[in-house]
Amino acid sequence: MPKTIVKCSVPHCEQEATRRIAAPWSDSISSELKTFGFACSYHAESVISTARSRRKSLHLLPGESVGEIATYPLPPS
């Protein structure tokens, strides 16, 4: 089975992502990581900054919560 290569979320960057930028999300019944983007080593801070801005503008429903933005390593391809 071919391996999926995830690219950096920064427009026009063709680098392979090395990190997933995400935050824990829950609706009080289930929980998962809400992905805000993927970053190569060079653009990590930029993607994190954009993710934090997007997180602040979320409109959550009653019972929903979103934790802090964090980085999660992606396995090498």
pLDDT above 90 (res 76) = no
Tokens of 54: 């997007």
| Amino acid residing at 65 | S
Quick one: pLDDT band at residue 2, thresholds 50, 70, 90? confident
- pLDDT at site 3: 80
φ and ψ of 52, to 5 deg: -65, -40
Q: Are 3 and 11 in contact (CB under 8 A)?
A: no
Q: Which two tokens stand for residue 44?
A: 């990590």
Q: Give the C-alpha separation, 4 to 41, whole Å.
A: 18
pLDDT in tens, 6-35: 999 999 999 999 999 999 999 999 999 999
Scanning the structure block, which residue is given the tokens 């934790």? 67
pLDDT in tens, 33-69: 999 999 999 999 999 999 999 999 999 999 999 999 9
- The domain spans of the chain are 19-73
